[in-house]
Amino acid sequence: MFESAELGHKITKEVWDTELPPLREALLDAQFDLNAAKFPVIILVAGVDGSGKSETVNALNEWMDPRHIQTHGLDEPTDEERERPHMWRYWRMLPPKGKIGIFDGSWYTWPVLERAYGRMKTSDLDQDMARVARFEQMLIHEGALVLKFWMHLSKENQKKRLKSLEKDPKTRWRVTPRDWKHFEMYDTFRQVAERALRSTSTADSPWIVIEATDPRYQRLTVGKILLEKLRARLNEPAPQPPPIPTQPLVALDELNVLKALDLTKRMDKKDYEEALLTLQGRLNLLTRHNNFKKHSVVLVFEGVDAAGKGGSIRRITQALDARIYQIQPVAAPTEEERAQPYLWRFWRNLPRRGRFMIFDRSWYGRVLVERVEGFCSEADWQRAYSEINEFELQIERSHTILLKFWASISQEEQLRRFEERQATPFKRFKITEEDWRNREKWPAYERAICDMIDRTSTEIAPWTLVESEDKRYGRIKILRTLVQRVEDEL
């Protein structure tokens, strides 16, 4: 993949002086237009050591308005980042719509390093690159312009570059023992990099390999490509969504997972109170277990309106130290959240180890409320199933215990609870006009719920369907499921 970047590309100082001023002016104009546009720009700058990556990033910040650029120079993950899924640090750094995010070091850096040092198998690298490709495809579907630059030097030119930097007292600090070690591993790094680039260079986000022997050629090329891609995107209509796959068929006998639930299950008050105290005690002791510090817990509560999610959450938090849990109620996205991919607001709230994060509603809004109410396109919610499964896979791989609960009640019980709330002064705040309106769309929501369960109840993160017609029974089923799962993990 690097043959064309080893030909000795260079330009004269006269060409540089002639072409740079109009390029800078054009980049600033395009950046100004981007500020009013509704898409972000993500620029990855990667390549071999000593290839001028940082200098290229600095040049872009000099040529454009740095107030609208978010630059991230990434080194070793911090302790906080290590306690969360690998991609957490990158999700938090994504630029909002109308801005440019530049990554000097990215989600490619550590998999390539780990494979080159032999700490990762080739098959593991391939899996990581497949996940990266899906991540970038999601960003593109969410509207982002993704540009990936690989700065290349031949082995001979890398050696010359490192020696030149080391010889000059003013630049000696830029060459480290690690740079020379990587030079000795040049052939290994080249092989790994070629594999990574080949598997992630797609039609929508191809890798652009640039020879870095001549800094003027390198920076001018990057600037011109950025201008060309940015201006093309600004001048063209938004990309069309991909074809919509065929939806699952409705069962001919109209039976589904919700209708199959036995909502007649009950628990008497005495048994409930005894089981509640026992399970809360077990849960509290589990959070004091030495191994609990190696895990985090994410709980997802979904269900029809008035199904008792809040009451179940309170019975869990009664058993927890207030310092180790947080409840995240999920409503309509804020303006800040709408400027990011829909999963962004959930990624940023994932807990550290030794902590609970409880989502009262969650990322499943994309395939429920947004689907039924038409807040997103059909292509958006159709692709969300696989994106959610990928998200939950990454959560599980990071020593996070993930449990998902769906609380279900009948239409008749929901009506009774609505009327009770409306008649009780201190419960009246729980009922809104929207709750009444949603009842009219019960069949559409039921179809969406069943599709959601069928397509996202996986061996990694299965749904627990909770018969909540009787609140006591539902609360105990949730607590018992949680306690048993944590015990199994510890």
Return the minimum-mean-pLDDT range out of 94-108, 367-381, 433-447, 469-483.
433-447
Residues 253-288 have pLDDT tens digits of 788 999 999 999 999 999 999 999 999 999 999 999
Contact 355, 324 (CB under 8 A): yes
Compute the distance between CA of residue 83 and CA of residue 328 in angstroms, rounded to an integer: 19
Residues 328-353 have pLDDT tens digits of 999 999 999 999 999 999 999 999 99
Strands across the sheet containing 145-152: 69-73, 100-104, 41-47, 145-152, 207-211
> For the residues 233-258, what does the mean pLDDT come to?
74
Contact 69, 102 (CB under 8 A): yes
Q: 238: pLDDT confidence band, cut at 50, 70 and 90?
A: low
Q: Which domains does the chain have, with CATH numbers?
A: 3-235 (3.40.50.300), 269-489 (3.40.50.300)
Residues 45-71 have pLDDT tens digits of 999 999 999 999 999 999 999 999 999
Query: Is a pLDDT exceeding 70 seen at residue 101?
Result: yes
User: According to the model, what pLDDT value does residue 411 have?
Assistant: 93
Closest among 211, 90, 226, 236 to 154, alpha carbons compared = 211
User: According to the model, what pLDDT value does residue 438 have?
Assistant: 82
The token pair that represents 97 in the structure block: 């719509």
Measured CA distances, 101 to 146, 167, 237, 409 (Å): 10, 34, 22, 46
User: According to the model, what pLDDT value does residue 434 have?
Assistant: 78
Q: How many CB atoms lie within 10 A of CB 472?
A: 19
User: According to the model, what pLDDT value does residue 426 have?
Assistant: 75
- Model confidence pTM above 0.75: yes
Query: Is a pLDDT exceeding 70 seen at residue 43?
Result: yes
Helices 155-167, 186-200: axis angle to 10 degrees equals: 120
The token pair that represents 261 in the structure block: 């639930």
Residues 447-474 have pLDDT tens digits of 999 999 999 999 999 999 999 999 999 9
What's phi and psi for 93, nearest 5 deg? Answer: -95, 0
Give helix then strand counts, H and E, for the chain. 20, 10
User: According to the model, what pLDDT value does residue 242 have?
Assistant: 62
Q: Nearest 5°: CA angle at 35, between 30 and 37?
A: 90
- Computed over every residue of the chain, the mean pLDDT equals 94
Helices 155-167, 177-184: axis angle to 10 degrees equals: 160
User: According to the model, what pLDDT value does residue 38 have?
Assistant: 87
Q: 82: pLDDT confidence band, cut at 50, 70 and 90?
A: very high
Query: Is a pLDDT exceeding 90 seen at residue 213?
Result: yes
Closest among 293, 274, 282 to 79, alpha carbons compared = 293
Contact 444, 381 (CB under 8 A): no
Query: Is a pLDDT exceeding 90 seen at residue 427?
Result: no
Q: 174: pLDDT confidence band, cut at 50, 70 and 90?
A: confident
User: According to the model, what pLDDT value does residue 252 have?
Assistant: 73
User: According to the model, what pLDDT value does residue 196 have?
Assistant: 96
Residues 378-398 have pLDDT tens digits of 999 999 999 999 999 999 999
